[in-house]
Amino acid sequence: MVLLFMTAIIDGVVRIEIPTPFPVGSVNCYLIEGTPLTLIDTGPRTSRSLATITQEMRNIQYDLSDIEQILLTHNHIDHIGLTAEFVRERKRVHDDSSMVWIHQSDADALVDYDRYMELYAKSITQLIAACGIPTDEVPIVMLEDYIEHFKSFGEPVLTAQGFEDGTSFKTGIGELTALWVPGHSPGSTCFVCDEKQVVFSGDHILGDISSNPSISFDSSERIGMITYLESLSRISSKENYIALPGHREPIFDIESRVETLRAEYDSKLQKAADALTSTPQTIYRISRAVYGEYDANSLALALAESRDLLSILESRNQAELINQNGLVYAVKH
């Protein structure tokens, strides 16, 4: 099987685009033929996603139960949600289990999925509450509704195994080496195939959209955006490699894309700095100055990124964040 990406031909790799109900659109899963038959990311658990990946695999003479190894780039639900379905099908047909691998920093999202999603939903509701969103602009959503919403897109996978940076995996196109690039999630990982000069980059770098830093469960953690920007240097050295991302089209010039991403974040930082005045403003108002109009589906990501921008400015003594009665305000330092 040959996958044609514009001018690049990669033997043994099949990209399967899986629809999602999220603003980002479809997610890319990559089937690596040979032994062990390997799948990188699985898509969200929806009936449409399952039907799509089932049919696309059948079109190339495979069933879900044929997958022997699953490598997950990170713990977000649009990438891990159907993993349990593959494990069940493998067990049902072959009476053994697909090996499921995810970076150890993201493993809890699979092993203890329900608890993880409860924490994730709680983080979002706390973020929204602290950012000062006018109730006439964004409808109020109860925490319980968020929890049930997010839980529906995946299931626990008790057999998932954690790996470390530098771990190698055998595949039909040669060894894949895990390159840990935290930021988009704590365990975000690229899988590098030196033999083919290919990087399965997950959501670490995307061709025409930015990779939002993760929503943190722990306010004592480092600023997610700083971690992400530092991690970009780990992939920028792969200048002659093709990046196969988690969304959209392949990236043929990784170094150039990394430079563009850095410039975009610098521009966002400047917009946030320019929006600051001596009068306290909510994070929500700053987010509108940075990102302009965005809909409710993009709300949490815009607020999380705006919070990080302001935290970076505070670390540079350009801003001060003030907590008053549960709301966070930003002022020019």
Residue 8: pLDDT over 50: no
Residue 123: pLDDT over 70: yes
Lowest-pLDDT range, 195-199, 260-264, 297-301, 321-325? 297-301
Residue 120: pLDDT over 60: yes
Residue 142, pLDDT score:
63
Partners of residue 69 on adjacent β-strands? 38, 99
Mean pLDDT within 108-132: 90
Q: Which domains does the chain have, with CATH numbers?
A: 2-270 (3.60.15.10)
Cα angle 114, 300, 183 (rounded to 5 degrees) comes to 75
pLDDT band for position 216 (cuts 50, 70, 90): low
What is the spatial distance between Cα 61 and Cα 140, in angstroms, rounded to a whole number? 47
Q: Single out the residue of 200, 163, 155 nearest to residue 28, CA to CA.
A: 200
Cα angle 136, 139, 145 (rounded to 5 degrees) comes to 160
Mean pLDDT within 13-28: 94
Mean pLDDT within 182-197: 96
Residue 222, pLDDT score:
77
Write down the mean pLDDT value for the chain: 91
Percent of all residues in the chain with a pLDDT value above 70, rounded to a whole number: 93
Residue 214: pLDDT over 70: no
Residue 71, pLDDT score:
99
- The structure's pTM equals 0.93
Q: Give residue-wise pLDDT tens across range 45-89.
A: 999 999 999 999 999 999 999 999 999 999 999 999 999 999 999
Q: Single out the residue of 129, 126, 121, 116 nearest to residue 148, CA to CA.
A: 121
Whether the bond into 36 is cis, omega within 30 of 0: yes
Mapped onto helix, strand or coil, the DSSP state of residue 139 is coil
Mean pLDDT within 225-232: 93
Residue 3, pLDDT score:
46
Residue 20 structure tokens: 């999602």
Q: Which residue has the higher pLDDT, 136 or 179?
A: 179
Q: Single out the residue of 98, 154, 95, 91 nearest to residue 121, CA to CA.
A: 154
Q: Which residue has the higher pLDDT, 72 or 145?
A: 72
CA distances from 149 to 65, 100, 141, 153, 154 (A): 28, 24, 11, 8, 10
Specify the pairing of strand 38-40 against strand 242-245.
Answer: unpaired
Q: Give residue-wise pLDDT tens across range 169-179.
A: 999 999 999 99
What is the spatial distance between Cα 214 and Cα 123, in angstroms, rounded to a whole number? 11
pLDDT band for position 299 (cuts 50, 70, 90): confident
Residue 135, pLDDT score:
73
